[in-house]
Amino acid sequence: MTQLVVENLRKQFATRAGPLTVLDGVDLSLPSGESVAILGPSGSGKSTLLHIVGTLDTPTAGTVRLGDTDPFALGEKGMAEFRNRSIGFVFQEHYLLPELSVLENVLIPVLATQTIAAEQRDWAMELIERVGLADRADHRPGELSGGERGRVAIARSLVCKPMLLLADEPTGNLDPRTAASVMELLLKLQTQTGTMLIVVTHSEAVASLLDRRMYLEEGRLVEDRQTAVDG
Ligand code: ADP
Ligand code: MG
């Protein structure tokens, strides 16, 4: 069943030189549980697309449907609640709060909308175990390596059991070997939880690990020819 449908998405930014068209008719459908890599040169609009699909920015035109919901029809408060409940994010910079422990960082998305029940604390601890940091739950981010911080960000992104997981260059700051192990972990957890996954990357090696690869070219998404031929 198709769970994410993006249709004819357009995004223009107003700049001093006039309107800048970044997305010019993006279409994307994702069945539940599927992963897709979005490749494209710097400045091609990958982050812009991910932000709009994640409801962190609004489209100039076009539609996004996640499950039965058009998030942009919900109003600001409804959209924020929907985002918190349904969408997980992993960013290159991770944005961990330095004064909080690993466990507290993982629980931040829960705290945004509700008080933490034992059940959520247990799930957060389970995720921390699954990313291999059980003995680090009390540590601060400053005491962890870059790869370990990436793993905390992955655990945090899944704490609300999102329908859709969005990752923007999640391994961009890591050496190739650490990047590969963080990506493997991300994909393992994605498979276990059944969430849809979109990974923006400029790494063909990272992209090759996902179910599908698409390229952002001149404001549109095109299927990787190799993928199309191979089915
Ligand atoms: P990518 O992630 O593929 O490197 P981005 O989505 O960050 O690309 O940016 C695509 C283009 O949109 C770039 O030319 C960038 O300068 C422009 N852009 C992004 N955000 C804004 C903004 N808020 N205002 C104006 N231009 C923007
Ligand atoms: Mg970007």
Residues 13-25 pLDDT 10s: 999 999 999 999 9
Q: Please give the single-letter amino acid code of residue 47.
A: S
Ligand 1: which atom is nearest the Cα of residue 50?
6
Residue 129: CB atoms within 10 A of its CB come to: 13
Q: How far apart are CA 202 and CA 215, in angstroms?
A: 10
Q: 227 with 212: CB under 8 angstroms?
A: yes
Q: Which residues line ligand 1 (CB under 6 A)?
A: 13, 15, 20, 22, 40, 42-48
Question: What confidence tens digit (pLDDT) does each residue in 49-65 have?
Answer: 999 999 999 999 999 99
Q: Ligand 2 centre and the CA of 179: distance in Å?
A: 17
- For residue 39, which ligand has an atom nearest its CA? 1
Q: 128 with 196: CB under 8 angstroms?
A: no
Ligand 1: which atom is nearest the Cα of residue 49?
6
Pocket test for ligand 1, best of 9, 11, 12, 13 (most atoms within 8 A of CB): 13
Q: Supply φ then ψ for residue 159, to 5 degrees.
A: -65, -30
Question: What confidence tens digit (pLDDT) does each residue in 173-231 have?
Answer: 888 888 888 899 999 999 999 999 999 998 888 899 999 999 999 999 998 755 444 44
Residue nearest to atom 24 of ligand 1 (CA): 13
What DSSP line would sit under 94-132, residue for residue? ----TTS-HHHHHHHHHHTTSPPPHHHHHHHHHHHHHTT
Residue nearest to atom 5 of ligand 1 (CA): 45
